[in-house]
Amino acid sequence: MISLVTQSIPSYGEGFAIGSLSKRPNLWNGLAGCWKPSLGVTGTNTLRDISGHGNNGVLNGSMTLDDWIIGGNPKLPGYGLDLDGTDDYIGTTGTERIFESGIWTVSIHARRPTGISGYVNPADSTGTAAIGPFFTAGNRMQINTIGATEGTVILQSPVDSIPTGDSHIIYQMTPSGTSVSINGISQVMSVFSGTNNQKTFPANTFDNVAIGAIITVIDGRYYNGIMFDIRIYNRLLNAAEIMDIYQYPNAMFEFNHLSSFLPIPAPEGIQIFRRRMEGY
């Protein structure tokens, strides 16, 4: 029974990248990269990009099989990736430029880290220019625009804006501004340092992505916590989409026409288990 079910599960190229079949086809629009430990594992050192663009990530640092943590997030059953805050991160150079448009959204479901930690950081090919949010004392998030041509500014969310436990963080950037939402609620970002107009990088700057770290020649912050779902869009999400991803993060991976792929109902967890163990 299990064999019949799992054989009919579509591959990444044939299934998960077919947004038209999704219950949330709008959330496939503009999706430039998507990394989910429950769906994109290959062995213990590769995290596949399941957006269909091939921007696969390589696990760096001292990560082992024990870092694949099962359970713990009721909205995202399956596996999370436990990063140690010392040297663990996922690095991808991608087969397609993720931040080409100059307008983009990063969505992260993660457990609140311990200590100062990096989240997701795009950088240029030299690693000398980078922009990335990180968790700081006071349970808040800061966004640091290091090396931006418009100047350097650090924005921060209010104290205790990142609650205890699992959170959904969205930050959206354009050449003219930055916005942040935490658990579906828009945050009023204040200027921590710098005096510029909060502009970020222009298009065509980034070709590397560090998930779980801010790594440049002048800064190194590693995420200390569990990540469950990381997505990057080359467009801005609206308020309804942000709330939808927060409340129903797996809805876009559910299909309206399951009969063509899953003729026999699968016991809960079988798909995740097979993908985790066999890496397809």
Q: What is the pLDDT along the chain (280 residues), one digit of tens a residue?
A: 333 233 333 344 444 545 667 888 889 999 988 998 887 666 668 888 888 888 888 888 888 778 888 877 888 888 888 988 888 888 886 656 676 666 888 999 998 887 888 888 776 655 555 667 888 888 888 887 654 445 567 788 899 988 888 999 998 887 677 789 999 999 988 888 776 544 444 444 566 788 888 766 456 678 888 999 999 998 999 999 999 999 999 888 887 755 444 444 444 443 444 344 444 3
The one-letter amino acid code at 50 reads I
Q: Are 180 and 195 in contact (CB under 8 A)?
A: no
3-state class of 248 per DSSP? coil
Q: Give buried/exposed letters for 239-263 (b at 16+ CB in 10 A, else e).
A: eebbbbbbeebbebbebeeeeeebe
Instruction: Give the Cα separation of 192 and 155 in Å (integer).
Output: 5
Tokens 């950037």 label which residue?
Answer: 173
The one-letter amino acid code at 48 reads R
Predicted local distance difference test score (pLDDT) of residue 222: 86
Q: Which helix (H) or strand (E) holds 3?
A: helix 2-7
Predicted local distance difference test score (pLDDT) of residue 218: 53
Q: Is the pTM of this model over 0.85?
A: no
Predicted local distance difference test score (pLDDT) of residue 261: 46
3-state class of 140 per DSSP? strand
Predicted local distance difference test score (pLDDT) of residue 230: 93
Q: Are 222 and 212 in contact (CB under 8 A)?
A: yes
Tokens 């980034």 label which residue?
Answer: 206
Instruction: Give the Cα separation of 111 and 267 in Å (integer).
Output: 27
